[in-house]
Amino acid sequence: MDQVATLQLESVDLQSSRNNKEHHTQEMGVKRLTVRRGQPFYLRLSFSRPFQSQNDHITFVAETGPKPSELLGTRATFFLTRVQPGNVWSASDFTIDSNSLQVSLFTPANAVIGHYTLKIEISQGQGHSVTYLLGTFILLFNPWSPEDDVYLPSEILLQEYIMRDYGFVYKGHERFITSWPWNYGQFEEDIIDICFEILNKSLYHLKNPAKDCSQRNDVVYVCRVVSAMINSNDDNGVLQGNWGEDYSKGVSPLEWNGSVAILQQWSARGGQPVKYGQCWVFASVMCTVMRCLGVPTRVVSNFRSAHNVDRNLTIDTYYNRNAEMLSTQKRDKIWNFHVWNECWMIRKDLPPGYNGWQVLDPTPQQTSSGLFCCGPASVKAIREGDVHLAYDTPFVYAEVNADEVIWLLGDGQAQEILAHNTSSIGKEISTKMVGSDQRQSITSSYKYPEGSPEERAVFMKASRKMLGPQRASLPFLDLLESGGLRDQPAQLQLHLARIPDWGQDLQLLLRIQRVPDSTHPRGPIGLVVRFCAQALLHGGGTQKPFWRHTVRMNLDFGKETQWPLLLPYSNYRNKLTDEKLIRVSGIAEVEETGRSMLVLKDICLEPPHLSIEVSERAEVDKALRLHVTLTNTLMVALSSCTMVLEGSGLINGQIAKDLGTLVAGHTLQIQLDLYPTKAGPRQLQVLISSNEVKEIKGYKDIFVTVAGAP
């Protein structure tokens, strides 16, 4: 009998177009094979002669990482079988067509993610084997697979939290929440490679590359590595934080439109941190990386967010008798807002009941296991006060639940408590609504209703765990017990008389009503109210006062008095930070008793508004005329205006234009053509910056059709 000719591999078709579409990765392109674990993909192998399963032996070898090892899970060898043998690496369901072999490859749902090399070894009988390189592929987490730890059983949610490449970050103040459009761009061509570059530059990888790669099957591990690598406090992470006002050595955090330019700059410069980021930039870039890797992720904003370093669940703030909010040496603070991520996953490392959304925070606030990272902390654990569960749950619990104690300071001493607020922290916790541009409040996911029996019970449970069994006394307990918070003889409120536009005088109204109290049940009282206005910083602190005012009045029992106040534009014109936030505070001193009352009003100034219109239907590769209009509603000119446009699928990279000076009261009209590159729902982000106002932002949702579609 003639000996059968040696089986030789002549060509390989990785069928990237078909596979990528079936694995929801076609948005990354179809030039490379990019697949998700726990789901089969298909190859066509062409040989020198027909494949004979009884004589020809094919062994597949898949390898990833620097020292592939079957023990570490970074190397797999598997044979051709008729039927898929379960949740293991396998090659099965093959069909023979002339000289070609169509085969289905399956990766287990707990496989290591990463760049893989795929080879085959061909042998006949006991003869020697020949190895061929089939090619490379990228393996990602698979939230479509019920066996994967990131499984999310809702196509609507998957479209939002994996496939949507744009969204909104919510910023500002709890009473003036602004939506900030952001281009995540996780499917831009080189972003997937940059994501793995980030993992490969982590301290864990530099210390032990083989071990690090072997742990990339674990979503909890990968999330913690990314959380540490988005900031640059310990390593050559992606972003350098800057909470000052000098951004001359980089880009102001307010001037980023999206993640793509940041990630590309970091990679192009060899991993040098990009300047600069603040919380919403860190979280938005992490959202890009995690969605790209296949982990359902969203960006979450917490308004009035506590940073409680000493874990006593109390944040102290101080005012003097002139109503000036004072800086403090303490690291505790209350951010106007803070932004973090939630990633969806099963927590096999925790007891049952804590799966689902997990908080991850890449902003460098505090170390965790020696590195500046935070999470994953189960949102369910935070709501239930289970602060003993990993990771960093006490820190996140305090961010949304700490109490605020406001002190009156005199002669360097805390003289009295002006307020003890149990519900002023953790307000309007927000994320983008699924399938909509609207904001969704998810506060109830983090805590029971403020003041409810359940909320207080959870607070006491968390306090016992965080403060220890001794119930260490809180710093204000002595004053509380000595009547430090007696009832007040009047109620004070500050209101805005009209919408606060940047560049206009601000009109406020002080309302005071005399109410009964234990010291002066019914008689009149004299009040001296000292007012102060300060620029309010994102970190919750303030700058030096730029406006002061004093009001004296007598208040009869049962009467309400209204007092108008004017804060001229000339006072705040050059005094505000880029956030354009003002804190107006008033301390009312009761002349009969010497005791004090506090009234506060935070004001968020409205910048001019952008108008963005497109003139016709958007089609791939067809010119789309864009009209951008900006009217300068301020009393001053906007100088050195620049415009930056960005939008994945609409623009490759960014378009930047210098616009010069826009005189007060004048209107700027810009027309330009875009050439969309991808079909489907897209978002165009437009940012106009000037010396006077850094963030005039707008967006336009655009649905792009395939060329020639009816």
Q: What is the 3-state secondary structure (H, E, C) of 517-543?
A: CCCCCCCCEEEEEEEEEEEECCCCCEC
**Cβ 49 vs Cβ 5: under 8 Å:** yes
| Integer Cα distance of 438 and 253 in angstroms | 24
Amino acid at 585: S
DSSP 161: I
**Cβ 109 vs Cβ 51: under 8 Å:** no
| Integer Cα distance of 66 and 195 in angstroms | 17
Six-digit token string for 615? 């003139």
Six-digit token string for 701? 């949702």
Q: Which of 481, 471, 467, 336 is nearest to 417 (CA)?
A: 481
Q: Is 234 annotated as a binding residue?
A: no
| Integer Cα distance of 432 and 617 in angstroms | 26
Q: Which of 655, 658, 636 is nearest to 646 (CA)?
A: 655
Q: What is the 3-state secondary structure (H, E, C) of 155-209?
A: HHHHHHHHHCCEEEEEEEECCEEEEEEEECCCCCCCHHHHHHHHHHCCHHHHHCH
| Integer Cα distance of 284 and 262 in angstroms | 11
- The neighbour count for residue 657, using CB atoms within 10 Å, is 14
Q: Is 401 annotated as a binding residue?
A: yes
Coil, strand or helix: which one is 676? coil
| Integer Cα distance of 672 and 683 in angstroms | 16
Name residue 657's beta-bridge partners.
643
Q: Which of 422, 406, 426 is nearest to 414 (CA)?
A: 406
Residue 540 φ/ψ region, left for φ over 0, alpha for ψ in the -120 to 50 degree band, beta for the rest: left
Alpha-helical (H) ranges within 351-390 are 379-384
Q: Where are the beta strands (DSSP E) in 540-663?
A: 547-555, 560-567, 581-590, 596-604, 610-614, 618-619, 624-631, 638-646, 654-662
**Cβ 402 vs Cβ 306: under 8 Å:** yes
Q: Which of 687, 607, 579 is nearest to 642 (CA)?
A: 687
Name residue 41's beta-bridge partners.
105
Strand 371-372 versus strand 367-368 pairing type = antiparallel
Q: Which single residue is written with the structure tokens 């106040």?
A: 565
What is the strand order of the sheet 680-689 is part of? 618-619, 696-705, 680-689, 638-646, 654-662
Coil, strand or helix: which one is 279? helix
Within 13 Å, how many C-alpha atoms sit on residue 684's CB side? 28
Radius of gyration of the chain (CA): 30
Q: Is 437 annotated as a binding residue?
A: no
Active site residues: 279, 338, 361
| Integer Cα distance of 469 and 212 in angstroms | 38
Question: Counting runs of H as helices and runs of E as strands, what totals does the chain give?
Answer: 14, 39
**Cβ 668 vs Cβ 659: under 8 Å:** yes
Six-digit token string for 72? 């570490």
Angle (deg, nearest 10), helices 191-200 and 219-230: 90
Q: Is 621 annotated as a binding residue?
A: no
DSSP 163: I
| Integer Cα distance of 657 and 651 in angstroms | 14
Direct distance between the N- and C-terminal alpha carbons of the chain, in angstroms, rounded to an integer: 63
Feature table: binding site:
401, 403, 450, 455
Feature table: binding site for Ca(2+):
401, 403, 450, 455
